């Protein structure tokens, strides 16, 4: 082998060794190429996670594990929808890097992956456990089913093959159900307003198609038979929009008390008030002198809270005679 050939072989060996070293170093530092998981260790850590925070447009919320129950710190530890939380974590754990995108900070804003600030569009998700900390800036939707993303502190941004579903606002994180009592159980409803106006409706038996409304004001009649049936249906799948501790603010739309009695003796009392054009309610339950496990569970879960409900549900709880009777001629 001549000198020229020897030099050529040496150069080839150097290139091969450099390539091998580069591959080994890459493996030690983690896969930074497309095709790998965004967070390779997250799935194994899911059951050990203790806190998840989301920061968007300068505002943040924190979900934390409080003695085995996931709660929202910003709502005085009200329970959250654990199904939504777990789905978010699993989606992130399964996220694969499809394509590396810009590493130029000046271009981050186009993808929504700039550092979170008051005017940023992306959402930063922080996932913490006893021995782990994972962060991600979730950017704009791409190709209708993917998202842009960037790990804070890293320059590379990525197109990932998942579209993590972040609940809308604080209310979207909360455990939504307030009550779910079928209308067929309801025997009577009494609505009493703070000015004394009272509406009473009842059924003789659960098979009746409509409620009777005795004591209709003289000369008036119902708009149509069954108009009050929707009032009894409010307790079926009644859900919250937000929660708060009882407010001391005076209701600007007056207060009302709506009492539902069921054929099996359960009594649900809902106190409602209108504040800033929305309806807040509080709920209590009893079953007379009977020991009711159902009533006890309702009071334990809902006592000490006020719930923001949808306007159409609030309207049903606060019906007046003029809402259910034909106009006076």
DSSP run (H or E) holding 250: none
Residue 98 has pLDDT above 90, yes or no: yes
Residue 25 has pLDDT above 60, yes or no: no
Q: Is residue 262 within 8 Å of 187, Cβ to Cβ?
A: yes
Q: Which of 48-57, 270-279, 281-290 has the lowest mean pLDDT?
A: 281-290
Report the pLDDT value the prediction gives residue 18, as an integer from 0 to 100.
46
Cross-strand pairs, 260: 189, 268
Full DSSP string of 46-102: GGG--EEEEEETTEEEEEEEETTEEEEGGGTTEEB-HHHHHHHHHHHHH-BEEEE--
Residue 6 has pLDDT above 70, yes or no: no
**Which whole number is the average pLDDT over 47-68?**
94
What global pTM score does this model have?
0.83
Report the pLDDT value the prediction gives residue 189, as an integer from 0 to 100.
98
Distances (CA, A) of 8 to 16, 22, 91, 127: 12, 21, 50, 52
Residue 78 has pLDDT above 60, yes or no: yes
Burial class (CB in 10 A: 0-12, 13-18, 19+), 324: buried
What residue segments make up the domains of the chain, in order of their start?
A: 31-166, 177-324
Q: Grade residue 170 by pLDDT with cuts at 50, 70 and 90.
A: very high
Report the pLDDT value the prediction gives residue 24, as an integer from 0 to 100.
38
Q: Grade residue 7 by pLDDT with cuts at 50, 70 and 90.
A: low
């Amino acid at each position: 082998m001549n000198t020229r050939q020897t030099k050529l072989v040496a150069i080839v060996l150097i290139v091969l060794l450099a390539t091998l070293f580069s591959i080994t170093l890459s493996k030690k530092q983690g896969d930074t190429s497309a095709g790998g998981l965004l967070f390779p260790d997250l799935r194994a850590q899911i059951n050990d996670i203790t806190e998840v925070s989301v920061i968007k447009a300068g505002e943040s919320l924190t979900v934390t594990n409080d003695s085995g129950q996931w709660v929202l710190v910003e709502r005085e530890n009200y329970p959250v929808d654990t199904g939504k939380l777990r789905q978010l974590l699993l989606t992130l754990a399964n996220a694969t890097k499809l394509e590396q995108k810009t590493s130029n900070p000046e271009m981050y804003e186009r993808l929504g992956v700039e550092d979170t600030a008051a005017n940023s569009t992306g959402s930063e998700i922080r996932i913490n456990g006893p021995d782990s900390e994972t962060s991600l800036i979730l950017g704009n939707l791409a190709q209708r089913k993917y998202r842009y993303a960037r790990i804070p502190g890293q320059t590379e941004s990525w197109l990932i093959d998942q579209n993590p579903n972040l609940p809308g606002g604080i209310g979207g994180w909360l455990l939504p159900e307030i009550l779910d009592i079928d209308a067929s159980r309801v025997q009577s409803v009494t609505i009493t307003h703070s000015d004394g106006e009272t509406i009473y409706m009842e059924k003789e038996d659960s098979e009746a198609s409509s409620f009777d409304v005795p004591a209709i004001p003289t000369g008036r009649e119902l708009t149509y038979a069954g108009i009050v049936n929707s009032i009894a249906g409010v307790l079926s799948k009644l859900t919250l929009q937000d929660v708060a501790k009882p407010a001391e603010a005076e209701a600007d739309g007056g207060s009302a008390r709506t009492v539902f009695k069921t054929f099996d003796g359960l009594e649900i009392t809902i106190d409602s008030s209108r504040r800033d054009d929305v309806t807040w309610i509080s709920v209590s339950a009893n079953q007379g002198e009977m020991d009711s496990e159902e009533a006890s569970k309702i009071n334990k879960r809902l006592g000490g809270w006020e719930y923001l409900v949808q306007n159409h549900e609030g309207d049903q709880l606060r019906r007046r005679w003029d809402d259910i009777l034909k106009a006076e001629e």
